[in-house]
Amino acid sequence: MQNLPEQFIDRMKKRLGEGFPAFLRAYENPPYKGLRVNTQKISKEEFWAISPIMLEQVPWAENGFYITAEKAGAHPYHFAGLYYLQEPSAMCAAPMLEISAAKHVLDLCAAPGGKTTQIAARMDRGAILVANEIDGSRAKILSQNIERLGIANCAVTNATPKQLVENFPEYFDAILVDAPCSGEGMFKKEPNALTHWSPQNVALCAARQKEILDDAASMLTSGGEIVYSTCTFAEEEDEWQIADFLKRHPEFALLEIKKILPHEERGEGHFAARLKKISHSSLQREAPKIRAYPLRVNAQAEKAYRAFAEDFFVSAPQGAITTLSDGRMYLVPTGMPAFDVRVMRLGVELGEWDGKLIRPAHALAMAFGTHARRKVKLSLEEVKKYLRGETVEAEVENGWCVVFVEEFPLGLGKAVNGTVKNHLPKGLRLVRA
């Protein structure tokens, strides 16, 4: 058992009363682990049939399973984006977000992307998802996870909530606020959370959450919904945070609360509250019209990409193209609004133009690889070679191709006379298999 902070023990004893001994005993068990099937790539039933890992249904997440397997992140199916590894109780919040009719959805504190990818799988493909992360290096990981899971209708931004408020007043129909918190439900998984815990930090987190929630409220349309969640047990950050919010925002109603405690349910612990904005506050200004995302692309580069896509795909994905400040071209999701914050990914990255040729992006294989003309399907042993960055042998026409594990794209290769040169990005390769 971990060395739990004394003040934490006192607080929980006071709160849980008779339940406290069972709560404490829960720390003797190893942390729960889970995976969520990415239904953008495979149905739950199909995954169940091919899963190399023992699965047991998580009751509150349709596509979520408990697992005990080690190294589930090293399996080729993980590289192919068939699943996302996520602590089971963390799977409870995203399903509470009402998105069936939502056109614009925001995940405000999104990295590393567990809940973003869960929301994306449930969303109408024609709707827009903005996944934001304030921390640049975490935003990069978020962006990679969105790429791995093949999500095409998402913009990844790296901004403060205040910067987003400037850009998106009363714009989103649904917002997830998975707030930074004191992480009491993470003590087993991330012992770092233990060393950072203190009553002062709980108060600090609560103050920060209050601000984030207020910012979220001002970005929500009338009739829209917010789900607020934390992975902590502290009432200041959970129930009291919501009660305070409702006092400040009479235009909101509380629809539902879920709290998972580790001695009551099979999970490390989570809190989620579903809030609905019933009416405009009289003080709110008229929401300004938001323009379409402005397209900036060199005409020659676009022509070169379109010619590349004609050859690379059996049927090329259609849509508007823009270049971001990183010099790369992206397929912009239809209906993407203009905004002025740092953007890390905008829809699907297509590739780079060097003035002569297109160098296609890994994301292209992950989102649209099943439509590729040249497909290389490898045995499990060869797949491991490919994932380690080695070349593989295959009977395929010369040119850019997509490498598969079974029916699932893993990345790009370039075939020359039966040898497929490896184009899996270096940072994504398997270190040991």
**Contact status: 122 vs ligand SAM (CB under 6 A):** no
Which tokens belong to 132? 């934001």
List the one residue out of 317, 293, 340, 335 whose CA is nearest residue 123. Answer: 335
Residue (132 or 153) nearer to ligand SAM, CB: 132
Q: Using alpha carbons only, give the angle 237, 241, 243 rounded to the nearest 5 degrees.
A: 150
CA 145 to chain centre: 6
Sole binder of ligand SAM in the list 178, 236, 238, 268 (CB under 6 A): 178
Least separation in angstroms between CB 110 and ligand SAM:
5
Q: Binding to ligand SAM by residue 87, rule CB under 6 A? A: no
273 binds ligand SAM (CB under 6 A): no
114 is a site residue for ligand SAM (CB under 6 A): yes
92 is catalytic: no
Exposed/middle/buried for residue 62 (C-beta within 10 Å: 0-12, 13-18, 19+): middle
Other residues' Cβ atoms within 10 Å of the Cβ of residue 362:
21
Q: Is 208 in the site for ligand SAM (CB under 6 A)?
A: yes
Our CB check for ligand SAM shows the closer of 137 and 279 to be 137
In whole angstroms, give the CA distance from residue 216 to residue 274: 13
DSSP letter assigned to residue 313: B
Asked if 95 touches ligand SAM (CB under 6 A), the answer is no
Considering the complex, state which of residue 342 and residue 388 has its C-beta at the smaller distance from ligand SAM: 342
Angstrom distance (rounded) from CA 343 to CA 142: 12
Shortest spacing between CB 86 and ligand SAM, in angstroms:
7
Residue choice 115, 259, 270, 274 for contact with ligand SAM (CB under 6 A): 115
Does 189 bind ligand SAM (CB under 6 A)? Our answer is no
Pick between residue 145 and residue 323 the one whose CB is nearest to ligand SAM: 145
The stretch among 2-10, 130-138, 234-242, 401-409 that binds ligand SAM (CB under 6 A) is 130-138
- 67's CB contacts (< 8 A; 6+ apart) are 33, 34, 35, 53, 54, 55, 56
Which one of 82, 96, 99, 110 is in contact with ligand SAM (CB under 6 A)? Answer: 110
Told to check if 135 binds ligand SAM by CB under 6 A, we report: yes
CA distance 409 to 395: 17
Our finding on whether 88 is near ligand SAM (CB under 6 A) is no
Tell me if 111 contacts ligand SAM by CB under 6 A: yes
Give least dist CB 67 to ligand SAM, A: 17
To which residue do tokens 């709980």 refer?
202
Q: Note if the bond before 112 is cis, omega within 30 degrees.
A: yes
Site for ligand SAM in 209-268 (CB under 6 A): 212
Question: Segment contacting ligand SAM (CB under 6 A): 36-44, 111-119, 300-308, 385-393?
Answer: 111-119
Rule CB under 6 A: is residue 133 a binding residue for ligand SAM? yes
- The DSSP-derived string for 260-272 is E-TTTSSSS-EEE
The piece of 103-111, 268-276, 363-371, 376-384 that touches ligand SAM (CB under 6 A) is 103-111
d(CA 57, CA 185): 21
CB of 176 to ligand SAM, least distance (A): 7
**Residue with smaller CB distance to ligand SAM, 153 or 232:** 232
Task: Name the 3-class secondary structure at 387.
Answer: helix
Q: Confirm or reject binding of residue 394 to ligand SAM (CB under 6 A).
A: no
Catalytic residue among 92, 109, 181, 231: 231
**Six-digit token string for 149:** 């899971």
Among 76, 81, 95, 112, binds ligand SAM (CB under 6 A): 112
**3-state SS assignment for residue 128:** strand
| Residues 165, 167, 172, 175, Cα dihedral to 10° | -40
Question: Across-strand partners of 348?
Answer: 331
Helices (H), 253-404: 299-312, 362-368, 380-387
**For ligand SAM, which is the closer residue by CB, 227 or 321?**
227
Q: What is the dihedral of CA 241, 244, 248, 250, to 10 degrees?
A: 100
Stretch that binds ligand SAM, among 104-112, 352-360, 409-417, 420-428 (CB under 6 A): 104-112
Residue with tokens 């890390």: 344
Rule CB under 6 A: say whether 202 interacts with ligand SAM. Answer: no
Residues that bind ligand SAM (CB under 6 A): 90, 109-115, 133-135, 138, 161, 178, 180, 208, 212
Active-site positions read 231
